[in-house]
Amino acid sequence: MPIERKLAPILRDVARHYPVVLLTGPRQSGKTTLCQAVFPERPYVSLEPLDRREAATADPRGFLAEFATGAIIDEVHNAPGLTSYLQEEVDRDASPGRFILTGSQHFGLTDQVAQTLAGRCAVLTLLPPDLDELHRFPAPPVDLLTTLWMGAYPRIHDRAIPAGRWLADYFATYVQRDVRSVLNVVDLLAFTDFVRLAAGRTAQEINLSTLGGDAGVSHNTARQWLSVLEAGYLVQRLPAWHTNRRKQIVKAPKLHFLDSGLACYLLDIREPEQLRHHPLRGAIFESWVAAEILKHHAHAGREARLFHYRESRGLEVDLLLEQAGRRIAIEAKSGATVAADFFAPLERLRALLPDIEGGVVFGGDDGQRRKDFVATPWRALSQWLDAL
């Protein structure tokens, strides 16, 4: 049974102001389910079947004439030229909420929408459920290791499909369909090896030369392939924060897999208990925290200005969030017990940036406060973000 998503009221509200709304996000994040729940009266058409795709491509005006009063058009990236004809159509009739579009790839899709539907279209992003939303399912994971291992794709939780089986099928489909459609990747086995190597670098700064070398591909190929992972919402690159924006660009971004379950699958972690002593448990948890922050903002219709902080003198802070003129530094620690050294990077950063706020998100259950920083249990991350 579908759960209520936090983005639902935002989607409903923007549709009152724009004739077109584009809902983008990864495959199987719940976009179709959300759109049909929010707009049950709208006709629905998917451009995944070849006949519908060909109709929209070969005769776009005739296709849109079938839906004169509007529609939910799913997988719109499969007919990239359709948005130009949508512009003509909504210029003729700009009734709010007329067309609701969904697309799984933002590789070129949002740029195309920006060019053809500028001022006519709102763009929202739906990621897999955050922890609060996961607990709306009948049997959500109850502990941290299971939460990390299962990930957050809704079908796993809605239909009780074994996580490892579903994620294997999901990744195979992603490689066979999305990668082939975005890039002419000749050696899909090499690409799969590249993705697994990238998973082993989650929560690390990206060195494309090293990553490409380990995968047996060039620096340029590694950069191109990483862009495909980002286009499919499998990973997120967080830039380094610096007061000087030029220096911020020069410093290496950090890589985060957006779904901890998929990262675990790619790392051959086949059951939650393997995570307990796994060398990458802390990195997977840090990426989970980063993903939860990104979801928190995306599902409120906002962009998260999220960075990492590192300087040559050795100071590193996992995450730095800029929000409403504030700087919030966050350390992610998967341990269940709060240790004094958890706060050391935050205290050192405050010596450089006196206005810094923030705290530690950790793998235990009882929150604490140390000096001016808080230790927030992983279960309470969303509530802490709400209170910021």
Q: Does the structure show a pLDDT above 90 at 234?
A: yes
Q: Token digits for 27?
A: 């495959």
Alpha-carbon gap, residue 231 to 104, rounded angstroms: 9
pLDDT in tens, 336-356: 999 989 999 999 999 989 999
pLDDT reported for residue 106: 56
Place 174 in a pLDDT band, splitting at 50, 70 and 90. Answer: confident
pLDDT more than 90, % of the chain: 75
Question: What pTM was estimated for this model as a whole?
Answer: 0.94
CA 219, 224, 229 angle in degrees (round to 5)?
Answer: 120
Residue with tokens 């009152």: 16
Structural domains of the chain ordered from first start: 8-125 (3.40.50.300), 131-238+256-279 (no CATH)
Strands 99-103 and 20-24: parallel
Query: Which two tokens mark 381?
Result: 């991350």
Has residue 247 got a pLDDT over 60? no
DSSP secondary structure letter of residue 258 = S
Which carries the bigger pLDDT value, residue 284 or residue 82?
A: 284
The mean pLDDT value for 215-225 works out to 92
Cα 96 from chain centroid? 27
Q: Return the pLDDT at 313.
A: 75
**Integer Cα distance of 55 and 99 in angstroms:** 17
Only one residue has tokens 């620096």, namely 219
Q: Give the tens place of pLDDT for each residue, 101-116.
A: 998 765 556 666 767 7
- Residue-wise pLDDT for 248-292, tens only, equals 444 789 999 999 999 999 999 999 999 999 999 999 999 999 999
What would the mean pLDDT of 16-36 be, rounded to a whole number?
95
Alpha-carbon gap, residue 266 to 317, rounded angstroms: 26
DSSP 331: E
Mean pLDDT of the chain: 91
The answer for residues whose C-beta is within 8 angstroms of residue 236's C-beta and 6 or more apart is 230, 255, 256, 258, 290, 291, 294
pLDDT (0 to 100) of residue 371: 73
Q: What does the pLDDT look like over 121-140, one tens digit per residue?
A: 999 999 999 999 999 999 99
Task: Tell me which residue has tokens 């020069």.
Answer: 250
Helix, strand, coil distribution of the chain in percent, nearest 5? 45, 20, 35
- Which of 180-184, 221-225, 295-299 has the least mean pLDDT? 180-184
Total length of the chain: 388
CB 24 within 8 A of CB 104: yes
